[in-house]
Chains A and B, each alone.
Chain A
């Protein structure tokens, strides 16, 4: 017992020594990395032309000798959407400012390429050839909250699980303003780009290969119109997502006593459940299953797309008349809303159609409501909403509902058909 304790104590001691020496080495490395790379780091500012003041800030890093700088799409999104209202400026480590031109974007992976004018060839960040390994020490660079360029050490923790668009899970503090800054390994090669945080040392990075792809494509042929480029990317992305969903297994699962609902078996659609079984005074017993794609595509601060929500609600009357049950049931379905944020400048108003629909293959009769609104800048893309409410049982009801943001008409209708036909009574 005693020996064990000593041994154990020694181990702890060694660990502590190791840790302290490691941190001091890390600090040194961070210092050299910072000193070496800082001339190629920039703060990126969006200047509102009318007021002459900055409207958003982020970070960026040079990736070519002729002045191509990589950053996040969301840093320059206002410019991409309203090029006449803003201009993009950089601020280098010496405090010099200059203007930038937008060259190319990857709206799905939140990346953008901008270019500064250079007179001579300049130093730049080298993009890594390989992905980091789990536990590898990485250094995130950026300018958080306009406080000045900093370096943050952290750890690579693999790719985010259950995610449709790939993101690196980085354990380290990424703060707003660092968006678009590079994350490098010990060899000072870029392995990711700061993009998001979910607080408490959980940061997310865009993998470097997305940037490599964007940069290669740009070198081959630069896009002529950023809006058309975005439109094509959104269209391709929704096609990929919807194809994946439509070709995955739709497992039929029971909900409540009598409902049968489809659960799409893909890792990036996550489901949650809830019921009011504990509320003894409720007039209706309700069980809800929610499934959603948690990620969405940022288009501007008030316009998101790419989200999917699916909800099923099973209701069972408890000692109330059919009429009262249906009265309360109606209130439950009266206020369905959009799953994504979009404004007047982004989308049309919803157009709706309702009918009584009975699928040939299923033993359920529904009141079905379908609504859609069109994107103004990206023609061919729509937000859709479906709401099905069963109307054939006196004391039970099954509500099936989904919203999909940024989808083509063909994909939306294929999904709707499959969805309607997948909901039934036991």
Chain B
């Protein structure tokens, strides 16, 4: 106890010496009661596995069951290190462990941690495990507001809306199957196919939930399903817009590009929401992940199509989109305009013939 009082007075001196660090005085005052330290057992990917908050002056760490922190890593000695509070700071005391203890430093080579005075946020590796040491005044990230999507997300995960979304998906898939079937057949057959399709599509949100569960996040399967099916339905809608645009416009129309961007935008938003629901990650990281997934999907599809493209295609590639007259919105061109536009094609074809002669 004598030592303790000495330390306390030391701290007081320190505090008076550095009046500018006012914030630090507050928690340090608490030390008058007892020293507090937070030790986090973290994975190599800096992910937290366990967190210990200890209020004692000496902490023993090792594989033995008599330790304050028991680690099961076989590379750790039964009595591996002690972390002791002395003269206002925490110090590492290696207990002559077989594999040693090291201070992890991303900037320089790792150095022996024995007798190291610990700073806030230091990472010490023992055996193959890593421990991050934090003081109670360690700054935390600002509080995250509930996102604007939160209420929307909550609505979508509600069983009733989830049911509606999936029913809508099956309805649309079934109707499209019916519309494109050249022979007469009963509806139930298309709906069986559509249900199969819904199950296949449910694999995506299911997979995301599984991954978030495996990475120690909340699985939130219902939310993932709800959001994904809402977006799948939106994509049907965007497909419909695409078709409408292709039907109502002539070649080389800017509207076709816009319609394509719409479906890319929807896909990106779906991935973004999937990430936001399933994983804790920074906004930047989430944007990068969703962007990469979108690029992978569209780029991959494009690459597959490109690789299947023959060197020379003897068949004409044209847009044959037709819709019932109800969907016809655009006015028709005159024959003169059509002929004029086609006259430009001859030039293009002649150039193509010359260029790869």
User: Within residues 224 to 252 of chain B, which ones have a CB less than 8 A from any CB in chain A?
Assistant: 247-248, 250-251
Asked if B342 and A370 sit within 8 Å, CB to CB, the answer is yes
Is B107 interfacial (CB-CB < 8 Å)? no
Given contacts A374-B353, A375-B353, A376-B357, contact A421 B335 (CB under 8 A): yes
Q: Which of the listed residues B182, B337, B345 has the most CB atoms from chain A within 10 Å of its own CB?
A: B345
Given contacts A348-B353, A382-B349, A409-B343, contact A337 B324 (CB under 8 A): no
Is B348 interfacial (CB-CB < 8 Å)? yes
The 8 Å CB contact of A387, one of B248, B318, B348, is B318
Contact count band on A:
35 or more
Asked if A342 and B314 sit within 8 Å, CB to CB, the answer is yes
Chain B: minimal CB distance from A93 (Å) = 43
Asked if B320 and A356 sit within 8 Å, CB to CB, the answer is no
Is A130 interfacial (CB-CB < 8 Å)? no
Is A394 interfacial (CB-CB < 8 Å)? yes
Is B20 interfacial (CB-CB < 8 Å)? no
Segment touching B, from A76-84, A219-227, A357-365: A357-365
Is B146 interfacial (CB-CB < 8 Å)? no
Is B305 interfacial (CB-CB < 8 Å)? no
Is A368 interfacial (CB-CB < 8 Å)? yes
Chain A: minimal CB distance from B123 (Å) = 61
Bound: A9/B17 CA distance, A: 147
Asked if A391 and B322 sit within 8 Å, CB to CB, the answer is yes
Bound: A393/B315 CA distance, A: 29
Bound: A333/B333 CA distance, A: 20
User: Within residues 306 to 357 of chain B, which ones have a CB less than 8 A from any CB in chain A?
Assistant: 311-326, 328, 330-335, 337-339, 341-346, 348-350, 352-354, 356-357
Q: How many A-B residue pairs have CB under 8 A?
A: 174
The 8 Å CB contact of A336, one of B311, B316, B342, B353, is B316
Given contacts A354-B250, A357-B338, contact A391 B325 (CB under 8 A): yes
Provide the residues of chain B in CB contact with A355, threshold 8 Å.
Answer: 250-251, 332-333, 337-338, 341
Q: Which of the listed residues A374, A385, A392 has the most CB atoms from chain B within 10 Å of its own CB?
A: A374
Given contacts A353-B341, A370-B342, contact A360 B334 (CB under 8 A): yes
Is A18 interfacial (CB-CB < 8 Å)? no
Provide the residues of chain B in CB contact with A358, threshold 8 Å.
Answer: 332-334
Bound: A281/B185 CA distance, A: 11
Bound: A351/B313 CA distance, A: 11
Interface residues in B, total, Cβ within 8 A: 50
Is A252 interfacial (CB-CB < 8 Å)? no
Q: Which of the listed residues A333, A335, A371, A394 has the most CB atoms from chain B within 10 Å of its own CB?
A: A371
Q: Which of the listed residues B182, B326, B353 has the most CB atoms from chain A within 10 Å of its own CB?
A: B353
Asked if A417 and B320 sit within 8 Å, CB to CB, the answer is no
Is A334 interfacial (CB-CB < 8 Å)? yes
Q: Which of the listed residues A329, A357, A379 has the most CB atoms from chain B within 10 Å of its own CB?
A: A357
The 8 Å CB contact of A281, one of B178, B184, B318, B350, is B184
Bound: A318/B85 CA distance, A: 90
Is B179 interfacial (CB-CB < 8 Å)? yes
Is B180 interfacial (CB-CB < 8 Å)? yes
Is A350 interfacial (CB-CB < 8 Å)? yes
Provide the residues of chain B in CB contact with A338, threshold 8 Å.
Answer: 314-316
Asked if B330 and A417 sit within 8 Å, CB to CB, the answer is no
Is B183 interfacial (CB-CB < 8 Å)? yes
Provide the residues of chain B in CB contact with A352, threshold 8 Å.
Answer: 251, 316-319, 345
Provide the residues of chain A in CB contact with B350, threshold 8 Å.
Answer: 348, 374, 379
Bound: A344/B352 CA distance, A: 11
Is A343 interfacial (CB-CB < 8 Å)? yes
Given contacts A368-B338, A417-B339, contact A350 B324 (CB under 8 A): no
Bound: A281/B184 CA distance, A: 8
Is A288 interfacial (CB-CB < 8 Å)? no
Residue on B with the closest CB to A395? B324
Is A51 interfacial (CB-CB < 8 Å)? no
Bound: A375/B357 CA distance, A: 10
User: Within residues 364 to 407 of chain A, which ones have a CB less than 8 A from any CB in chain B?
Assistant: 365-376, 379, 382, 385, 387, 389, 391-394
Is A330 interfacial (CB-CB < 8 Å)? yes
Provide the residues of chain B in CB contact with A343, threshold 8 Å.
Answer: 312, 314
The 8 Å CB contact of B333, one of A356, A371, A389, is A356
The 8 Å CB contact of A354, one of B251, B312, B332, is B251
User: Within residues 163 to 180 of chain B, which ones have a CB less than 8 A from any CB in chain A?
Assistant: 178-180
Chain B: minimal CB distance from A330 (Å) = 4
Asked if B316 and A330 sit within 8 Å, CB to CB, the answer is no
Provide the residues of chain A in CB contact with B331, threshold 8 Å.
Answer: 356
User: Within residues 124 to 179 of chain A, which ones have a CB less than 8 A from any CB in chain B?
Assistant: none
Given contacts A343-B314, A344-B312, A369-B318, contact A393 B325 (CB under 8 A): yes
Is A117 interfacial (CB-CB < 8 Å)? no
Residue on A with the closest CB to B250? A355
User: Within residues 252 to 282 of chain B, which ones have a CB less than 8 A from any CB in chain A?
Assistant: none
Q: Which of the listed residues B313, B324, B348 has the most CB atoms from chain A within 10 Å of its own CB?
A: B324
Chain A: minimal CB distance from B323 (Å) = 6
The 8 Å CB contact of B335, one of A387, A394, A409, A420, is A420
Chain A: minimal CB distance from B319 (Å) = 5
Asked if B312 and A322 sit within 8 Å, CB to CB, the answer is no
What are 25 sample pairs from A and B whose C-beta atoms fall under 8 A apart? A283-B184, A322-B326, A323-B324, A324-B178, A325-B324, A328-B182, A342-B314, A347-B353, A348-B353, A351-B352, A352-B345, A353-B251, A353-B338, A355-B332, A356-B333, A357-B337, A357-B338, A360-B334, A367-B247, A369-B320, A371-B318, A391-B322, A391-B323, A392-B325, A413-B342
Extra contacts besides A336-B318, A356-B332 (16): CB < 8 Å: A322-B326, A326-B322, A341-B314, A347-B353, A354-B251, A355-B251, A355-B332, A356-B331, A360-B335, A369-B319, A372-B342, A372-B349, A374-B346, A374-B352, A409-B346, A413-B339
